[in-house]
């Protein structure tokens, strides 16, 4: 089965392809030559994922899935949340975003946070949703060289390492995206039988 992942972020595509079974191959927006950004104007993570999946279905009539992910920090009332990618501005800089979070938390004790991913799958005219959440905390400084986004400052519960200190196979044992993806994979495997 070939399915479109509505992203141009190759890091995310690689992360998801690693947990997919061999019989499911993903293509990305690059593969269909879509260069413009798909609108993400919803005030919720779920809404953005739905908006992206619907856009592909309406404009290309392809089976597809889209995800949206947010970092929700309790002491910041759930921010950056739906604005995680552009928290420090439209330049979408991982460094700027992390620095802003660290600055805002610098005088606060509660550093608890969670990553949430919602995947919306458009398959044969039907819509399905899958959610993955990982609880953890924001560290006081960056650690690790792997990953992307907020990975160097987020440490999952009971782990002792940031996502950026984990190899891909380790991260896929913990990550919110992997958890949502595994739910989708189970669904697809049942569907393919």
Q: Catalytic residues, which ones?
A: 68
- As given in the structure block, the two tokens for residue 177 are 């995206």
Contact 29, 6 (CB under 8 A): yes
Contact 162, 144 (CB under 8 A): yes
Using DSSP's 3-state secondary structure scheme, residue 39 falls into coil
What own/partner pairs with CB < 8 Å and gap ≥ 24 does 55-61 have? Answer: 55/6, 56/4, 56/6, 56/122, 57/122, 60/4, 60/32, 60/34
- As given in the structure block, the two tokens for residue 136 are 């953890």
CA dist., res. 193 & res. 183, Å (int): 16
- As given in the structure block, the two tokens for residue 147 are 């990953």
CA dist., res. 106 & res. 62, Å (int): 46
């Amino acid at each position: 089965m070939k399915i479109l992942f509505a992203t141009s972020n190759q890091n995310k595509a690689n992360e998801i392809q690693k947990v997919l079974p061999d019989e499911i191959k993903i293509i990305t927006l690059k593969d269909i030559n879509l260069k413009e950004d798909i609108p993400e104007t919803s005030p919720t993570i779920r809404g953005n994922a739905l908006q992206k999946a619907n856009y592909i279905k309406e404009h290309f009539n392809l089976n597809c899935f889209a995800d949206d992910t947010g970092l929700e920090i309790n002491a910041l009332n759930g921010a950056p949340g739906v604005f995680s990618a552009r928290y420090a501005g439209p330049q979408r800089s991982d460094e700027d975003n992390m620095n802003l979070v660290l600055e805002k938390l610098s005088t606060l004790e509660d550093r608890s946070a969670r990553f949430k991913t919602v995947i919306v799958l458009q398959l044969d005219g039907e819509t399905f949703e899958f959610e993955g959440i990982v609880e953890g905390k924001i560290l006081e400084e960056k650690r690790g060289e792997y990953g992307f986004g907020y990975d160097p400052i987020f440490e999952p519960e009971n782990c002792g390492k940031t996502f950026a200190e984990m190899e891909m196979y380790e991260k896929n044992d913990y990550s919110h995206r992997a958890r949502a993806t595994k739910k989708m994979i189970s669904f697809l495997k049942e569907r393919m039988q």
